[in-house]
Structure formats: C-alpha cells, structure tokens
Amino acid sequence: MKRLGIDIDSETLRLALTHRSYAYENGGIPTNERLEFLGDSILGFSIAEYLYQTFPDLPEGDLAKRRAAIVSTRALAIIARDLGVGEHILLGRGEAQSNGADKASILADTMESLIGATYLVQGMDAARSLVLRFVAPLLQDSRLLGATTDWKTAIQEDVASKKLGEMHYQVTGTGPDHARSYEAVLVIADQAYGVGHGPSKKEAEQEAARNTWLQIHPGEQIPLG
C-alpha cells in the first residue's frame, strides 16, 4: 500500500487488510475489526477538528452534516477505489466471488482499519495527516456532495411536487453473478433523465436519482442531507 505514503510493517498491514470472511476460513485468525473501530474514532475526530478550524462561521448543524458526508461509507469507498485498496483486501472465497473487493461497506471498513493501523505504527500526527490528505479534499468532490441525502426519496418528492409525471427506473445488469454491475436510468413521463452505475441496483438507482436532481436543478446548491 505504497499509495498511502505511510510505512506500516507487514504484520500490521496484513491485519488491517484481513476481512472477517478470510479470518473465518483460516482458523479464526484476528480480523481488522478492532483496527476499524480505532480508525473510525480517529477519522471522526480529525475531520471534526478540521471542519471546526476551516469553517469558523458555520453553525453546529452544518458542521455535523459536512462531517457525516465525508466520513460516510460512500466517501471512504471512493478513497479506497482511487487507491486500489480492494485488490489487497484478504477475503474469504465466498466474499471474493461475490465481488466483495468492490463493496462499499468492505472498502470503507478497510480504510478505517488502515487509519487505525497508521495510528498504531506512526502515531496520531501521522494518522491525522493521512485523514486530511485523502478525506478532507472530498468536501469539493462532486461524487460525494450530498452523500447523506436519500436521492431516491428526494427526487420522488421533487417529481411529485412539480407534477412532472410518472417515474420509474430501468435497471440492467451485466457481468457474471459474482461480479455483477448495474446501470439504472430514471425515466419520468417517458423521458430518460439521469443515469447511474454501481455494483448493486440500489447504488445505481441512487446515482441515477442524484444525476436527475442535478438536471432538474442546474446550478443549485446540492443538499447535504
């Protein structure tokens, strides 16, 4: 994991990358869940401190929404995918065959365990630096804005209030069962709007709903949730 820019000894790094499915199949060896717990706390504190110092005029509610957005499963999965973390995660056979290396929850948990491992090996300053280097920039990432918003509900309410017509999702899946990917198109009154992609129907539909909201509200500020 040279892309992290942190020196972590091989034993600690292996632990940080050991998913419980792999541990179960290999005699109940230790998993990365304790490191994940530690990393989650460090992540939350580091981002809260960063937001407090960076946005001195924002009220508590807005700070909380921004923190929720950039410590979310989606945010951490974005970072993990950008870094290629998935290819290094130790997974059990079943999880590996079901494309676990690209599941947002597994990627996010592994990022937290890597933050925890960084803290154990290099200390708090290094762990905080890691968080700020990879997580804080997501405040400006278009893939993440509104990450805590339920876009399917938001667009459904929007379509209803504007009386735009009936809406539904057209979803298609491609690839083998163990590595399925989906494309969703949101159709309103027989007109195609936003398109979304993801490893699950739910994620593809959420992205399609978000992209539809952007089409209907060009130039407007994205809700934070």
**Catalytic (active-site) positions:** 40, 112
Q: Phi and psi for 173 in degrees, rounded to 5?
A: -115, 145
Report residue 179 as tokens.
């590595």
What are the distances in angstroms from CA 110 to CA 88, 133, 202? 10, 17, 22
112 is in an annotated binding site: yes
What are the distances in angstroms from CA 164 to CA 106, 192, 218, 219? 38, 13, 16, 20
Helix axes 201-216, 151-162, angle to 10 degrees: 40
Run of H or E residues at 214 = helix 201-216
CA torsion 21-22-24-27 (nearest 10°) is 180
DSSP secondary structure letters along 52-94 = HHH-TT--HHHHHHHHHHHTSHHHHHHHHHHHTGGGG-B--HH
Report residue 217 as tokens.
């509200």
49 is in an annotated binding site: no
Check if the beta carbon of residue 78 is closer than 8 Å to that of residue 108: no
Annotated binding site: 36, 109, 112
Question: Which residues sit in the known binding site for Mg(2+)?
Answer: 36, 109, 112
